[in-house]
Amino acid sequence: MKRTVSFSKNSRNIFFHILTNCNLKCKHCYINKEQHGDTLLPLSVMETWLRSLCKQGDEANIIFLGGEPTMHPELPQIVISAKRMGFDSITIDTNGYLFHNILSKITPEEVDFISFSLDGPTSEKNDCLRGKGSFETCIAGIRQANKKGFNTSLIYTVSRQNIFDLEAMAILLKDLPIDRFFIQVIGLRGRSGTRRTETGRNATLQVSREDWQRVVPPVAEQVAEYGITVTYPKVYLKQNEDFECAGLVADNYFIFPNGRVYRCPLCEDFPVHGREFQGDTLSKTEPINEEDLFHLNIPEGCVMNKIIQPENIRYHHDGTPMYKIACCLLKEEISA
């Protein structure tokens, strides 16, 4: 069954980067230490920030990210604290190295999903993007987590370098103990944004609209036939489809160790965050920031995409766009 996942009006999703350090140097990494800081957040600060965002009475979901979050020695403690605070779901995103013996310090009752990242169906394809040995390590981590009873998911970030490997990825998934498969589209942030700036527009890792539509939906349907729930960005809207911005209608927070809190992940390379933690208090920042830009209504759809990665759009001879870019948080979901 395929459906478009609407923005939830009564839940908040917190993407908490508890550190920015990582043992890998993925070519498409979106972390920008100049903008995000390199602080290792202490447990007391993480708990304080989470309490301020755990709204009573509404659904609240927390995803712990990095860098590589398992490199944080207090990850088990903040997971347990989040569970006690009443978060409805808790996820850890990891590259699979599972530092600090993390699987022995938390339980499947405390974590809803451990989400792994692979960007190719073989060592040859994956490791050139993520680092030598990362494929075998991630596969071993998935099997280890499954053996211990954890629900597992897998994230695949699509770029021009690996979009045509996605079909082979479906074959790999058939034999992996995965419950959910997330296909992400690369954004020009962090290292991939720098790469474009340094080497020119033609070096972008972004995929074309034609390649995305030809490859991603059919593979998603194939993987769903294995009993795996597949989620991927809608990305493109027809001109007659309504555009809706999650920054206006949903409650998403992307938190970084320097206290910056974004509502839109496309903005993370720039100091335009709409919120920030000042001490223990989450405060709004002064205009002009991302939240002011969300209100702009343009024929191209997402205003942040138009500003930050305009090469995603094509135009007719009269200057009108051929299609709209959907909010990057609008998803399609296919389940068996």
Dump strand ranges (E) for 6-137.
11-17, 59-65, 89-94, 113-117
- Under-70 pLDDT residues of the chain: 6, 9-10, 55-57, 187-204
Which residues in 148-183 are b (16+ Cβ under 10 Å) and which e?
Answer: eebbbbbbbbbbebbbebbeebbebbeebebebbbb
pLDDT at 1: 76
pLDDT of residue 298: 96
Domain that holds residue 277: 2-334
pTM above 0.85, yes or no: yes
Give me the pLDDT at residue 197, please: 42
Residue 112: what are its φ and ψ, rounded to 5°? -80, -40
The per-residue pLDDT for range 77-123, each reduced to its tens digit, is 999 999 999 999 999 999 999 999 999 999 999 999 999 999 999 99
- What does the pLDDT read at residue 193? 45
The Cβ-side half-sphere exposure at 206, using a 13 Å CA radius, reads 20
Q: Choose among 295, 307, 296, 302: nearest CA to 323.
A: 302
Measured distance CA(111)–CA(83) in Å, rounded: 8
Query: CB of 29 within 8 A of CB of 21?
Result: no
Tally of domains in the chain: 1
Give yes or no for a cis peptide into 57 (omega within 30° of 0). no
Do the bridges between strand 281-284 and strand 324-325 make them parallel or antiparallel, or are there none, so unpaired?
A: unpaired
Q: How buried is residue 227: exposed, middle or buried, by Cβ count under 10 Å (0-12/13-18/19+)?
A: exposed
DSSP, residue by residue, 256-274? -TTSEEES-GGGTTSS--S
Instruction: Give residue 7's pLDDT.
Output: 74
Q: How far apart are CA 5 and CA 231, in angstroms?
A: 9
Tally DSSP H helices, then E strands, for the chain: 11, 15
Residue 54 has a pLDDT of 82
Q: What is the CATH number of the domain that holds 150?
A: 3.20.20.70
